[in-house]
Structure 1
């Protein structure tokens, strides 16, 4: 069907309705059909209508949404290459040399739905060829599947953000201006046509730049590692972990509203990202809490104390830092020491940095540590020695 305009029957099959239903939508103005026939954008619009009908929305409501331009973003799909499914799972396995079960594992690791193997496209097969080449080059399967999960989660977040931000800052303003639906679709398609080709080069550049940075940091980390420390099991890393959040964030939300509270969190996270030492990075944020991991414990406790000295606006951050052995999986860190770091942070107050004994031993002479004592943290049987970290007064 490449290079030809699909028939109404073809479109109906792809949308999942009967040709009679599709014709009724077109004649009723629910699905606009131009003189050039069915484009990918119009097919995307028909799919949206079908989903809305499945959810019980009446045709009159959908027609009004079409006229108002609320469904106009569906036309952007005209710019996205979407191949027809050409391969069965068995055919894809034969083409790539991968076992069917492994293809299913790769898809689930990437975050595809369980039904993806029933609609494998040529692009999917090319992706599987790359996967087979990576495994043939010697990359262990356990590492490859973890990379698939990281790629899938990261790029799903990127795509989700692209769509939502475009909706919030382009689509919504056009609707508020009262621009007719078809005109709005044309304007949005024009803008998307200009922006879409920029996304892949931008992400490729960022990937190369960050890859260079982390390769360098990994080499330095190996060179500076303490050779006297016991060798770690495969899949484990010894790192410094910091948890930081805003003391009184819930109260701020109640007193000043969600917009002001979210603004405070955005400023806080941005300040963390812009001040971290080179070997450290934000692993994740959950609400107002930030998890930071670095390979240099001295540098991370330096950052925590220095960061607190910069913070003057309430609510003030509270920070806990610990150093220990973690389990590394899918770009994240797990295990007892991570949980311990979180509990240490929970014991601190706004403006404070509380650390454990390994941080005291690693820190430089410009810091001082007030011993709090042996504290039994929630969820841990043995007490943990805690210290309040600060700069030495000159």
Structure 2
């Protein structure tokens, strides 16, 4: 059997920040509905030269043949997620390099690095490596903010990371429910509670009640 050659691939790894908290607060049925919708949004964000190839729980793997396309898809997905009512935030990591595809699955260090970069991102944030920034150049409506070199477990050298600022965030939510980690708009949140000099907003009275019972377990430092 001939050996399958490695190829240059851009990996986009996206997962839902706070998905575990959402499942605990609202149950597996609602969590499954959120993931179903999340996959639909990812499919809608794709463009020629990009594919959704794998899902593991709330983590999606998108591959692209071009770094600029990868950035656009990531921005569209992030913006679509943030327009959804009562939805968690998404965090995205992007890296590029040579990898092996076998039976529709990818293997290689670049994929592992992309996953580590995604885990390093905050909810709503798109991070990419300096390699991706170099390959993508300066596309329209994209800016980069330096994050710096980051050391990841089992990765020998530090990876230089930049934040990708792209897309339009019309109606961007400004609060996250501290219990279930869903995006909420303060002006329409069903409930709000003060604690330690801050006001917290909630997607439901159930989440507000859980917070009131144990605020120290949910309040941000």
Matched, 1:356 2:129: yes
C-alpha separation between the residues in 1 aligned to 2:59 and 2:167?
28
**Which stretches in structure 2 are left out of the alignment for 5+ residues?**
169-221
CA–CA distance in 2 between the matches of 1:268 and 1:287? 11
Superposition TM-score, scaled by structure 1 size: 0.40
1:319 to 84, 88, 92: 92
SS state of the match for residue 244, structure 1? strand
Tell me the residue number matched to 1:378.
153
Question: RMSD of aligned C-alpha atoms?
Answer: 1.7
Q: 1:86-125 to 2 correspondence within 5 Å?
A: none
Shift of 1:349: 1.2
How far the C-alpha of 1:378 sits from its partner, in A, is 1.9
Which of 23, 27, 43 is the equivalent residue of 1:253? 23
CA deviations over 1:94-116 (Å, ceiling 9, x no partner):
xxxxxxxxxxxxxxxxxxxxxxx
In the alignment, which residue of structure 1 is the partner of 2:56?
286
CA gap 1:253/1:392 in 2 versus in 1, 3 angstroms: closer
Contact in 2 for aligned 1:277/1:300 (Cα 8 Å): no
Secondary structure in structure 2 of the residue aligned to 1:302: helix
Question: Between Structure 1 and Structure 2, how many residues are aligned?
Answer: 163
Alignment partner, residue 236 of structure 1: 6
Gaps of 5+ in 1: 1-140, 144-233
Q: Which runs of 4+ in 1 moved over 3 A?
A: none
Cα deviation, residue 392, structure 1: 7.9
TM superposition shift of 1:381: 1.9
Per the alignment, in what secondary structure is the counterpart of residue 124 of structure 2? coil
In the superposition, the TM-score normalised over structure 2's length comes to: 0.70
Q: 1:275 aligns with which of 28, 45, 50?
A: 45
Report how far residue 377 of structure 1 moved: 1.3
Pick the structure with more strand per residue. Answer: 2
Counterparts of 1:1-394 in structure 2, within 5 Å, are 141-142=1-2, 235-312=5-82, 313=84, 314-361=87-134, 362-363=136-137, 364-391=139-166
Question: Per-residue displacement from partner, 1:191-247 (whole Å, max 9, x unpaired)?
Answer: xxxxxxxxxxxxxxxxxxxxxxxxxxxxxxxxxxxxxxxxxxx51010100111100
2: distance between equivalents of 1:306 and 1:370? 19
Q: Which has the higher contact order (CA 8 A, sep 6+)?
A: 2
Contact 1:247/1:316 (8 A) holds in 2: yes
- Contact 1:368 / 1:392 at 8 angstroms: preserved in 2? no
